A = this chain, B = another copy of it.
């Protein structure tokens, strides 16, 4: 998938010279101080414990814009629907999108609806694109970083990390992917595990107010393993995290063990991974824990110049290299 994007999409469509262009492969692009993002949602099943494709579509795009240091301004929705898709289900999805938009304080402004003949599409897919404006808190936040070291970027980018930066997660990882997988395959784990899908732009604003935030990412496809590897590669710094510090729900841990999946590679849709300067990590943790969605937030590690790549301190005292996931262990979760 990564090579499909790099060797094909970026090769032919890159080269804009925008402030944050396609080839940065960051959470969103930036041009002319507008943050811009697009996501297609093909999740299966459409309704799963804790959410549905509509909530996912809104949260996914809102979060990708917010983690750049921007306030989402508007969304678009492209519905592609298989002929014969039940109107009741479509209405349920729309109501869920409406609720998620209210939660995020954002509106759908434009869109497109297409119907494909029976058999040409598995039920429905939703594309959500979004635009955002620079957060009024971003400049002050970055000033706080620059009080401690140089930083050229005007936005929260994957390439912003430096050795010493702390790595924080806003809560338990893997919930979304396991909830969707279990619900699809009927494994039964969904009694314990619910998707965490949620728009996090309001939480993001509170974190920016603290200051000293270097980069934030919502660990979707490829999960935490992918997030940390992208940061490590683009920022040219090692990252070390502690297995014991990474919050994982018991149900997710059990499911992953039984299915032979690494929970670090399982996607979320309602969590943030945050890199901050050391001085501010504790304060950010405190702010996160004040929110219900951030109650289990944890400082899990730091960027380090001692090595390259991503290293995990295991619970039994060893060290393990965390590679970027090859393929997706759980397909169609977003």
Contact = CB atoms under 8 A, between A and B. Distances in A.
Interface of A: 1, 4-5, 8-9, 11-18, 21-22, 28-29, 31-32, 34, 36-40, 42, 73-74, 76-80, 87, 90-91, 94-95, 97-98, 101, 107-117, 119-122, 125, 127, 129, 131, 133, 331-332
A256 to B, nearest CB: 22
Contact of A16 (B87, B95, B109, B122): B109
Contacts of A73: 31-32, 34
Interface centre among A17, A22, A90 (most CB of B within 10 A): A22
A77 B110 contact: no
A217 to B, nearest CB: 15
B38 A116 contact: no
B36 A74 contact: yes
Contacts of A36: 74, 76, 109-110, 131
B117 A120 contact: no
Nearest to A116: B42
Given A16-B74, A32-B73, A110 B37 contact: yes
Contact of A127 (B17, B37, B40): B40
Contact of A122 (B94, B109, B120): B120
B31 A129 contact: no
Contacts of A131: 31, 34, 36, 131
Nearest to A331: B117
A127 B122 CA distance: 17
Given A16-B108, A40-B78, 16 more contacts: A8-B91, A12-B91, A13-B94, A13-B108, A14-B108, A18-B74, A18-B109, A34-B74, A40-B80, A40-B114, A40-B127, A42-B80, A78-B129, A80-B125, A116-B125, A127-B127
B78 A127 contact: yes
Contacts of A34: 34, 73-74, 131
A331 to B, nearest CB: 7
B29 A113 contact: no
